[in-house]
Amino acid sequence: MTQYKRESPNRGDDRVEDTAMTDEGKSKRVNRRSLMAGIGGGAAALLAAPHVARAQSPIIWKMATSWPKGSPGPGGNAQRLADMITSMSGGRLTVQLFGAGELVPPFEVFDAVASGAAECGHSSPYYWQGKDQAFHFFTGVPFGLTAEEHAGWLYFGGAQELWDKAYEPFGVVPFLAGSSGPQAGGWFAKEINTLDDLKGLKMRIAGLGGTVMRRLGVNVVLLPPGEIFAAMQAGTIDAAEWVGPWNDLAFGLYKVAPYYYMPAFHELGPALELIVNKAQLEMLPDDLREIVKRAAMASSMEALADFTFHNIESFRPLLEKEGVELRSFSPEIVSALAVESEKVLTDIASASPLAKEVYDSFLAYRAKATEYARSASLAALSMRDTGLPR
């Protein structure tokens, strides 16, 4: 038997405890303490387990898109946005992307999100303009805003609140998700010099650009992006606009029409959108809702940079393709397009009280943006073009 004396450090020297214990007893005491610690730790783990399970169980969202999966520009940017939300949330909100036609047809993305068949979507507002003409302004209108001006109007000029108001009756929440920057006017089987050359032309052109062209005698055909090449090749259409050098090169449109017109009159900075089912968005905790919002904002800048870089890189290779001839619309045609465009916007303003409210906001902002651009971006680009050798 081992006998020892232990002094209590907390009670002073007058409180002394004599303890006699076998080695076996000490071992049992240690084991009992280990057991109690284990029970305590296990209890804590059991109590925490439901919370941990909730945190680790991902929320799965389906993203329907209007673009072929992985296609340059819109398709790639939609995928990166889906991946960004998944990554920023640590997988708590996992977004699974579906290309055009995989979940719903390309022009049914809005309805899929509104109904909850898809929790979110990636597309462009002009595809849903039949629901309210005001939607056009949130994509971009003929002789409208550049990508930077459009973002300024949305983020700081009150247009986001108007956009939310426009989509609210459908249970959909919109976010700006990027822009291509200035687009191309399109590919034409024949040269377009006068207004008479437009009459009877069968052309694929989306949004209000199509409305304006129709007023000038063009037979407008709206086709999903994936069908443009085949329609041009078959002669179903005589002309088509898609995006710009990068996407047009990837789609091979130079193979089916020789005349390439730049820039577009109707899409100076057309917007892409992330749309989210409102009920699903409101079910998210605050931090995940903020992640969706900030991911869309980050994607907006990334998408514009993506388009800008690749359009620059693709421009010269596209022009060097056999038979491609670069053209621009004549002053006569531009003037007619501008006159008809303003008439179209006026008509839209009378379509609904909301459209009038959006139109008034847009018109006031565009006037100030145009005035500023003459002394800023337009002047800066002109100065650079004049000063640098060609």
Which domains, ranges and CATH numbers included, belong to the chain?
55-179+270-307 (3.40.190.170)
The Cα 5–Cα 125 span in angstroms is: 85
Q: What is the pLDDT of residue 135?
A: 95
Q: Is 46 helix (H, G, I), strand (E, B) or coil?
A: helix
pLDDT in the model for residue 291: 98
* 181 in Cβ contact with 308 (< 8 Å): yes
pLDDT of residue 56: 61
Judged by DSSP in three states, 221 sits in: strand
Angle, nearest 10°, between helix axes 353-375 and 159-167?
150
Residue pLDDT, tens place only, 276-296: 999 999 999 999 999 999 999
DSSP states of 91-120: TSEEEEEE-TTTSS-GGGHHHHHHHTSSSE
Q: Using alpha carbons, select from 383, 36, 316, 378 the residue that is nearest to residue 182.
A: 378
Residues of the chain with pLDDT under 70: 1-56
**CA 149, CA 118: separation in Å to the nearest integer?**
31
pLDDT of residue 45: 40
> What is the SS3 string spanning 359-374?
HHHHHHHHHHHHHHHH
d(CA 262, CA 185): 5
Q: The pTM is what?
A: 0.83
β-strand pairing of 239-240 with 325-327: unpaired
d(Cα 241, Cα 259) in Å, to the nearest integer? Answer: 12
